[in-house]
Structures are given as structure tokens and as C-alpha cells.
Structure 1
Amino acid sequence: MSGKNNDVEKFIASQINETQFLLNDSIYYKNQKFNPRSEFEEIKDYVNDFLQGDNLNRFITLPGLRGVGKSTILLEIYDYLINEKNILPENILYISCEQLNNIEKCDIYATIEDYVKNFHHSSLKTLNHEIFLLIDESHYDKNWSLAGKMIYDQSRKIFMIFTGSSALNLDYDAEASRRIINYNINPLNYTQHLNLKYGYYPIEFSNSIRNLIFSGDIENTVKLEEKTNHDILNLKGYTSTDWDNYFKFGGFPQVMFDKRQREIVKKIFSSVDTVIRKDLGTIKNITTDTQSYAMRILKFMAQKYPGDVSQNKLSSELKCSFSTINTLFYLFEKIQLLFHFDNYGGINHRIKKAQQYYFATPSIRHIINLKFGVTNFTEDEYDGILFKNFVASSLFNLINNDNFFDFNAYYEKRKGGVDFLVKKNFENPIPIEVGNKNKDKRQVIRAMNIHDSTHGIIISQRDAIEKDGDIIYIPIKSFSYI
């Protein structure tokens, strides 16, 4: 056996023997197990089906930004298998492809072949008992989906979960795609935050807010808003600063219990920095010069209004070629640090107009600004930028929620246009404007007339959901449950 193969075998052995010791640090806080995300509960159902002989749905992918909790879900599944289903540790392999890549170039298929051969004395085709593969950061193997397909096709005794950057959504092998069950793991909305941190899960209010956006019917939502606001004040450990901290620093389970702002900034910035230093290169071969521009672009964008920066302008400001800027924006979107909305209109109209980019969460924008210094915005202006980013990212995550109905979101390029238009199927678009407490409604009224909308929405710093004619006012805090 070559030295490299021996190193991989030692790595596998250490993972089998040591993974259970990661659980206390990863899924417990002060000796109490974290409340799991809803995705865990759904994946657990597939695990149970598999253990009962249903071997159809056994290849799951969890793409998402670093720090949103993908690894935690894997370790929660590991804990469930060990402690509730009595699966032997040697029948579960949890590996980080990032760590494996430090030993040799990551090859998931070869590693699993080695695992089955040396630890189960079998081959993929002859394996006669159930095993579980929990593969973290699988994007370090550019052929991850082909590896998964080959494992899936050769053995019905293997249940697989692959996590990785959001690029996993776009990098399916064509044949693998019909075998995969995909769950996008997004930054936490406030409903999920309350569930994980306090064990309170106001999903009924969350669903009601989602439906309100398109139906315009506020009656039930107002009642649920009152109930939810009353309930959270009685949560054990809940403080009046919880939502403000969530808004500027939240979305990432890894910092949910941190009380020191310095540590929160350090952890989230470290995740962003790691994405730039490590993850970009796993998706596309780029030069170190190209990589060096990445943080400079994010810093520049964090200090601007959404939509203020075009790629041409960035190229000029940073003295960097347009092709390099274009490549980095492509990569930023693939790993979901940034996303964009198109201008509303026909397809040809959209192509001619600039795209409007946002950070994955306002907390990333805020952390970058704290790290490098905020530009000369007033506090109201700066909060307004974060509000707009928050609404944009909430809509984007909802669009990418596989359990929600299909709709699209756009921005309006025309002078005096609203911040967003949301459109479901063949219905007329709904205008959404984001602003401070006394936000003017004229832009929304104008957009409603232009698009023949049934109603319009203003999201601002109000105290409660209200309706004035065909305009619905939603507090930014209530919207955060979406």
C-alpha cells in the first residue's frame, strides 16, 4: 500500500473513532442539545425510511454558505444514528473533504471504496449491510456528484448526505440530478433563530406573513403577530435586544449564543475570509491576483447603496480588468456570498439593464463595515441600507425554499421605482418599498397603478401590521419571521 493510501486509511480510522467526541462541542450548549433545524427533521424521516428498507431516497445534498449550520446537521444525524437508532460507529463515516484534501487531492469515490474495502471487507457492489456517509464540504472534489451517482448506483446499502458551498446547486452531474434530494441551507430567519435559541417555533405566523405578501389579507396575520409578540416576551432568557442583535449579527447558528460583539465579528469575518481564501479556488481555477481582489470588491460594495455599483465602475475604481471582476461576481454568487435581482420587464429588457447585487445577509455587510470602517452614512441611512438588504435576502431565501410556492423578485430600474416587485406565476406583480417609520407611500401607489397590482407593501420600523386602503404596512421585525 502506498504512503498516501495508508494516510487516507489512517484518516478514515480516526474519523470512525473520534467523530462521537465532536458532538459535545458541535450540537450542545451548556450541556443542552441544540434545537434542530426543520431540515434535520425531514432528513431524519428519510433515514428512518432507509432503515425500514426503502432505499430509493438515499442521496441528499445540503448546499449553503459557510457558517449556516450544514456541519451541525450532519453531526445531529450522526448523533441520532448512534444514540437513538443504535447504529455502530464503524457503520457511519463522517469526513470533511477540506481535511481530506490536506492529505491528498480529495477523491470521494476512491475514499469510500477504501472505507468499504478496509473497514467492511467488501466492495460497493457486494456490501450486505447498511452504512451511512456524511460527507462535509464535498465541493473540494470537483467530481462530487459523479462520485455520489456511482456510489448510489453500485450499492443500495449506502445512505449519503453531502454538504458543500451553494455551488452544489449548479454542479450536478446530469445523471446524478435525478437521484438527489436537495435542501438549500440558508441563513436563519427569525422564526428559525427563535426555534434554535429558545425552543419557540412560531411557524404559523411565519406562514401567515408569507401568504400575506401575495394575498393582501391581514386579519389572521394581525392576530398571530399580537400572539407572537406576547409569547416572545415570556421566553426564558429572551431580552429586548435579541432582535437587534439578530438583525445586525444573526443568521449564523455559530454566533447565536455569543454575547461579545468582538467574538461575533471575528467568527463571521473568519467565515467570509475562509470562503475567499479556500472555497473560490475549489469552484474555478483562479490566479492569486484574482483572489486578492475578492475582499477589496466586497469591502467596496459593503460601503455602497445596493445598485450603486456596476462591474464597469468597480473595474475602474479598483484598476482591475472587467473580466476579473466578472469572474469574481460569478464566483460570489455560486458560493452565495452575493446574489442579484434582475430589473423587472421582458427578458430582452432585463439583459440591457444592470443587475442589482446584495449580500447574503445584512450581517455580512455589517461585519465587513465594522472590520474596515463604515463610510459617511448617517445612522438612519445606514440602517436603511441594512433593512433593504435584509428584505432582499429574505425574499431570495424564500425563492430558494423548496417547500414554498414559486415566485420571483425583481427591482425597478425606472426613476422613482419601488425597491422590489414580487410576482407569482401569472399574477400581476406586488410592489414592495423599504424604509424608515414614516416612509412615503407615493412610490408604492405609482407602482400599483403602473402594474395594476391588487395591493402594495411598505416594510418599515412600525409597531404593528396595518392596512390603509390597498397598502399594507409591515414592521421590519414582523417581516423577519418570513
Structure 2
Amino acid sequence: MEDFVVLQEQFLENISCEQRYLINVIDWSNRLIGIKGARGAGKTTLLLQCIKYKLDEKAEALYVSLDSLYFLENTLISLAKDFVLQGGTHLFLDEVHKYPNWSRELKLIYDQFPKLKTVFTSSSILEIYKGESDLSRRVVTYHLKELSFREFLYFEKNVVLPKVGFSELLANHKEIARKVKIETDTVIKYFRDYLKYGAYPYYLENKESYLQKLNQTITLILEVDLNAVENVTYQDSRKIKKLLLAIAQSAPFTPNIKKLSERLGVQRAFLINALRLLNRADLVMELYKPTKGIGAFTKPEKLYLNNSNLVYALDNKNAEIGTLRETFFANQMKHIHEIHLAEKGDFLIDRTYTFEIGGKGKTSKQIQGVKNSFVIRDDMEVGSLNVVPLYLFGFLY
């Protein structure tokens, strides 16, 4: 355990003070907290920042990554027991999906050590409630999204702007946009930068090599995380990567399951499951119309890459601006609002609000007569009436 303590102190000395939105959303008083999110979203940093900035002086915390060689000969439950005996109060466990018996042992920790607070992170692929032990009555889960445009402005320009509620944004978008314009001066320029490299915090390490690192991250998700969580073989992960590239080359992608199955040499059931895994891994977004049920073998009606940075990373030469706009909007809604394909327009949010996405020339013709409908327009700083600037949807979290 001493090695973990030494390593933790080294991490804390170098941890960034720039905090993600979720650190102030999580109720850290819960006894068992699970934080899911895409690889590279900043889950490890979030744990360390909680230790450094959120715990009081009396707390005794320990950060442990479960891919450590320590766990080849030691169990998680034995570590927790030793930690509690030494006065430990807060246990932070990173990457639980790398530990075979994570669900059972987390349940034992929760039941045996009622004074110990435990926080764990996992790949977004992991379905926490389907673990072999029932954690549903014990764990409180949160999903860490990629950087919002609001957070990107803070990281990039040190501009501190508040997050905006969805209803408030629709009702007061002109006033909100004017404030953003005053603070940023060239907001459209920063928005263009965000679309290309602002989704994951590690872009700060080196912008020039960012897309290369993002491609490496995608490979790790497909070849390492899928195997750890779903026992996907290396051969199958290669097939899934071919599927991801096919989606990237023609997103928004309307899947033809028969043709895809023939092209990739796989069965329909494998293909549908692969799409589900890519969606859970936060690599793609599956979208359906609200009238269509979503069953185990139901194909999505449209597929987008999960964020605009992935568009640049996987198909940089053909990053079409219309696709980037729609991808950005859908991404900002994913995990925080219910999103469907609209009968008229592009997207239906919370089964109530219809949105048509476009550039300067986009009109409301396609959504004329539709209640609660809005035109979301790129390349504008301040909107009017039901015309809202696209970048403002990056202020929802």
C-alpha cells in the first residue's frame, strides 16, 4: 500500500487545477459512486482533483489504478481492509473494468466497511448494473462527457462563463450570446478550433499531435477496453474498426445491415451488437425516430460519430461542415437530454422541441408549422426570435 501512497503524492503534485464540470455535480457524500466515461475524457484527473480540492483535512484518501501489477497477487477486498485498519476513509479506484471480480468485491467493500466511501471509474462500455453482484441499490452513477465548448473556452482562453439550462437557453439566447461575445471577442474562431481538437482534455499536451493521439485512443478502446469488458477478440475488434471507418466515411450514416454484413463478412447479430458496443464506447451515436421501438435486433436509423473531433481523426480529408454541425449538436445532447430524429427538421429533443441545423443561409422552411421548433445556425454570434447560434449549445454543461 505504501507504493500507492507515494505514487498518489506524485500525481497530486502535478494535477491540473482546471476542473471539469462534473466535479461540482457529483454528491461526494455518497458511499459508493461510479463514474463512467469515454477513454480520455478525464476520469483519472477527476478522482485526483476530488482528493486534492474536495476532501476535508481529516479525510484519509487513497487513489489506486486497478490495472496495477499489485492485483496479480492481491485482491481489492484485502486492500480495502488494510486501508480501513490504517484509518482510511475514502478509496478511489480507477479503471475497475480491468479487474475481473470488480462487481462482487465492490459489493463486499460496501457491505463490510460502512464508514468507507468508495469512488470508482470505468469505461463507458461497462454496464455497471449488469455486474455479477447487484450494485443497483448501492451505487450512484455519473457519466463524464467530453469537454463542452464552455469548458474549452475556460481551458483555452481562461474565460469563466456559467453553464446554461436548456429552457433558459431557448428563452434567452440573445442575452446569453451577447455576454459570450463580450467575453470572447472571436467566439466563432474558438468554436472552429473546438470542433477540430477541443473534445478531450489531453489536447492541451500538444495540439499538433492531438489527432494522432486520438486515433491511438480509438485503437485502445477497440483492442483493449472491448476485450476487458465484453471479451471481444482481437479479430472481432478489427472487424469493428472496419465498421467504424465505414461509418466515418459517410456519416451521418444510414446503415444497410445486409450490405454491411456482406462487406465485413459478419452475421447480422454480430453487426447489430457491434453498433451497440460502439455507441456504449462513446465512439458513435445511434439515433432513432421516437415512434420506433428499440429492440435487441433493431438497427439504428442513423449513425453519427460521437463528436466532431472523431470526424477529423477518422476522415480528416472529408470533414464536411454540415456533418460537423449536426454531430456537435447531437453530442451536446447525448447523456443529458432525450434525442431522436425528427419527422420534420433534424432532431427532436425530449419529444417536444424540433431543431433544424445549418449555416448562414438556413431558413425555417423545413420546420414551418411545427410547434416548439428552432433553427440552429452556425457562423453567427447572436441570434433572433427562434434562430439560435449553434455554439451556444456548448454551454449546457
Same fold flag (TM > 0.5): yes
Residue 350 of structure 2 is matched in structure 1 by: 423
Superposed CA RMSD: 2.9
Q: Where do residues 258-269 of structure 1 align in structure 2 (5 Å cutoff)?
A: 258=206, 260-261=207-208, 263-269=209-215
One-letter code of the match for 2:68? Q
1:422–1:287: structure 2 CA closer, same or farther, 3 Å change rule?
same
1:442 lines up with 2:369 in the alignment: no
Residue 388 of structure 1 is matched in structure 2 by: 326
**How many Å apart are 1:431 and its aligned residue?**
1.7
Counterpart selection for 2:105 from 147, 158, 163? 147
1:330–1:455: structure 2 CA closer, same or farther, 3 Å change rule?
closer
Q: Are 1:342 and 1:354, in contact at CA under 8 Å, matched by a contact in 2? A: yes
Residue 165 of structure 1 is matched in structure 2 by: 123
Counterpart selection for 2:274 from 325, 328, 333? 328
SS in 2 for 1:167: coil
Counterpart selection for 2:312 from 362, 366, 377? 366
Residue 53 of structure 1 is matched in structure 2 by: none
Q: Are 2:180 and 2:187, in contact at CA under 8 Å, matched by a contact in 1? A: no
SS in 2 for 1:184: strand
Residue 66 of structure 1 is matched in structure 2 by: 39
Q: Distance between the aligned counterparts of 2:49 and 2:66, measured in 1?
A: 18
Q: Are 1:16 and 1:93, in contact at CA under 8 Å, matched by a contact in 2? A: yes
Residue 253 of structure 1 is matched in structure 2 by: 201
Residue 8 of structure 1 is matched in structure 2 by: none
Residue 76 of structure 2 is matched in structure 1 by: 111
Instruction: Using CA pairs under 8 Å that are at least 6 residues apart, name the structure with larger relative contact order, 1 or 2.
Output: 2
**How many Å apart are 1:24 and its aligned residue?**
4.1
Q: Where do residues 282-361 of structure 1 align in structure 2 (5 Å cutoff)?
A: 282-345=228-291, 347=293, 354-361=300-307
Q: Where do residues 82-121 of structure 1 align in structure 2 (5 Å cutoff)?
A: 85=57, 87=59, 91-100=60-69, 104=72, 110-114=75-79, 116-117=81-82
Q: Distance between the aligned counterparts of 1:459 and 1:250, measured in 2?
A: 20
Q: Are 2:249 and 2:315, in contact at CA under 8 Å, matched by a contact in 1? A: yes
SS in 2 for 1:480: helix
1:457 lines up with 2:372 in the alignment: no
Residue 221 of structure 1 is matched in structure 2 by: 173
**How many Å apart are 1:104 and its aligned residue?**
2.5
SS in 1 for 2:63: strand
Q: Distance between the aligned counterparts of 1:329 and 1:475, measured in 2?
A: 31
1:348–1:190: structure 2 CA closer, same or farther, 3 Å change rule?
closer
1:16 lines up with 2:5 in the alignment: yes
| Identity of matched residues, % | 22
1:211 lines up with 2:181 in the alignment: no
Q: Distance between the aligned counterparts of 2:175 and 2:125, measured in 1?
A: 40
One-letter code of the match for 1:21? Q
Aligned residues, how many?
Answer: 395
Residue 182 of structure 1 is matched in structure 2 by: 141
SS in 2 for 1:112: helix
1:476 lines up with 2:390 in the alignment: yes
1:433 lines up with 2:356 in the alignment: yes
Q: Are 2:284 and 2:306, in contact at CA under 8 Å, matched by a contact in 1? A: yes
Q: Are 1:410 and 1:421, in contact at CA under 8 Å, matched by a contact in 2? A: yes
One-letter code of the match for 1:387? R
**How many Å apart are 1:350 and its aligned residue?**
12
Q: Distance between the aligned counterparts of 1:297 and 1:348, measured in 2?
A: 21
SS in 2 for 1:231: helix
One-letter code of the match for 1:224? I
Alignment TM-score, normalising by the size of structure 2: 0.88
**How many Å apart are 1:352 and its aligned residue?**
7.0
**How many Å apart are 1:247 and its aligned residue?**
1.3
Q: Distance between the aligned counterparts of 1:212 and 1:42, measured in 2?
A: 19
Q: Are 1:306 and 1:385, in contact at CA under 8 Å, matched by a contact in 2? A: yes
**How many Å apart are 1:35 and its aligned residue?**
2.2
Deviations 1:157-200 (A, max 9, x none): 21111001113455355742122122110011112223344443
Deviations 1:287-319 (A, max 9, x none): 322111122111111111313333333222223
Q: Distance between the aligned counterparts of 1:193 and 1:311, measured in 2?
A: 37
**How many Å apart are 1:277 and its aligned residue?**
1.3
One-letter code of the match for 1:36? Q
One-letter code of the match for 2:110? Y
Residue 225 of structure 2 is matched in structure 1 by: 279
Q: Distance between the aligned counterparts of 1:190 and 1:420, measured in 2?
A: 20
SS in 1 for 2:286: strand
1:367–1:348: structure 2 CA closer, same or farther, 3 Å change rule?
closer
Deviations 1:85-122 (A, max 9, x none): 265xxx43322122348x629x8xx22314534x66x4
1:17–1:298: structure 2 CA closer, same or farther, 3 Å change rule?
same
One-letter code of the match for 1:227? K
Deviations 1:445-466 (A, max 9, x none): 16x1xxxx23333333333211
SS in 2 for 1:340: strand
Q: Distance between the aligned counterparts of 2:145 and 2:384, measured in 1?
A: 29
Residue 52 of structure 1 is matched in structure 2 by: none
SS in 2 for 1:458: strand
One-letter code of the match for 1:150? L
One-letter code of the match for 2:90? F
Q: Distance between the aligned counterparts of 1:310 and 1:144, measured in 2?
A: 38
Q: Distance between the aligned counterparts of 1:275 and 1:92, measured in 2?
A: 29
**How many Å apart are 1:221 and its aligned residue?**
2.6
Larger radius of gyration: 1
SS in 1 for 2:159: coil
Residue 19 of structure 2 is matched in structure 1 by: 36
Q: Are 1:35 and 1:199, in contact at CA under 8 Å, matched by a contact in 2? A: no
**How many Å apart are 1:363 and its aligned residue?**
0.6
Q: Distance between the aligned counterparts of 2:22 and 2:115, measured in 1?
A: 23
1:353–1:146: structure 2 CA closer, same or farther, 3 Å change rule?
closer
**How many Å apart are 1:434 and its aligned residue?**
1.2
**How many Å apart are 1:269 and its aligned residue?**
1.6
